[in-house]
Amino acid sequence: MLMASSQNWDPQTYARNARFVSDLAAPVVELLAPRPRERILDLGCGDGVLTAKLAALGCEMVGVDSSAAQVEAARGLGIDARVMDGERLEFDAEFDAVFSNAALHWMRRRDVVIAGVWRALRPGGRFVAEMGGFGCVAKIKNALIDALRRRGLDGEALNPWYFPTVADYCARLGARGFFLEYAALIPRPTLLPGDVGQWLSTFAQSFIAPVQACARAELIGEVEAALRPHLCDAKGWWADYVRLRFRATKRR
Ligand code: BEZ
């Protein structure tokens, strides 16, 4: 993923705690409707597991990610993966599609990202993506912010995520000249493979990093206790995900 500075991605931890991210990508892949021999950029390819699935459909895939460790894992799957910041895409009119799953919400300079995607696409090319949308993980984020406030820290200032409304993101796409074909905000409570503490350690490092290492377990325990009545049931722990999914075309 492309990320804020105190967020690190370890491919093994990611495979253990975050495999559901690529496993749940079927709807956005369907929206992409990839065809064999199309050249497609996977923006924020992570460990390349989903990129490899698209390659197996016959697409010519290039993956970019700002995490060198994730790029190395993607290369291990045979992907042409490159370490590149999503805010500094270096492509010019060479892709039939730019695809992104669960990565755009890590990129703060949204208009710069959209402009880079525009440049990377051939005229008529499509930008198809799913990201966290407005309200995503709100319960988790609020519990974190409350726990940090009790420690005198401003959690909102540590927030690395951008979860836009449909209107916000579509206005930005339109301002760059994209023609919007589809956009929707989709609540998708997601059953986690482990507990919410493991989710926090994987995805919420920016909130946790400013707390002294010896006090982090206590912080996580406190957040877990606050969330248990809302996000834990007989099936296990849930994250209150909301997806923003869209498909837009670069006008010819
Ligand atoms: C998401 O994919 O929606 C997401 C990922 C990390 C943190 C929050 C949300």
**Structural domains in the chain (count):** 1
Structure-token pair, residue 102: 């669960």
233-242 pLDDT per residue, tens: 999 999 999 9
State pTM to two decimals.
0.95
**Does a structural domain hold residue 2?**
no
Q: What is the CATH number of the domain that holds 243?
A: 3.40.50.150
Let me know if residue 90 belongs to a domain.
yes
Q: What is the pLDDT of residues 89-119, one digit of tens each?
A: 999 999 999 999 999 999 999 999 999 999 9
**Distance (Å) from CA 132 to ligand 1 centroid:** 6
The answer to whether residue 4 sits within a structural domain is: no
Q: How far apart are CA 120 and CA 176, in angstroms?
A: 13
Task: Tell me the pLDDT tens digit for each residue of 28-70.
Answer: 999 999 999 999 999 999 999 999 999 999 999 999 999 999 9
Ligand 1 contacts (CB < 6 A) are 102, 105, 132, 136-137, 161, 203, 241
Question: Per the domain annotation, does 173 fall within a domain?
Answer: yes
Strands lying side by side in the sheet with 39-43: 80-83, 60-65, 39-43, 95-101, 121-132, 242-250, 178-187
In this structure, which residue's CA is closest to atom 7 in ligand 1?
203
Q: Which domain holds residue 185?
A: 11-250
The answer to whether position 72 is within a domain reads yes
List the alpha helices (DSSP H) in 110-231: 110-120, 138-149, 155-158, 166-176, 196-203, 205-208, 216-231
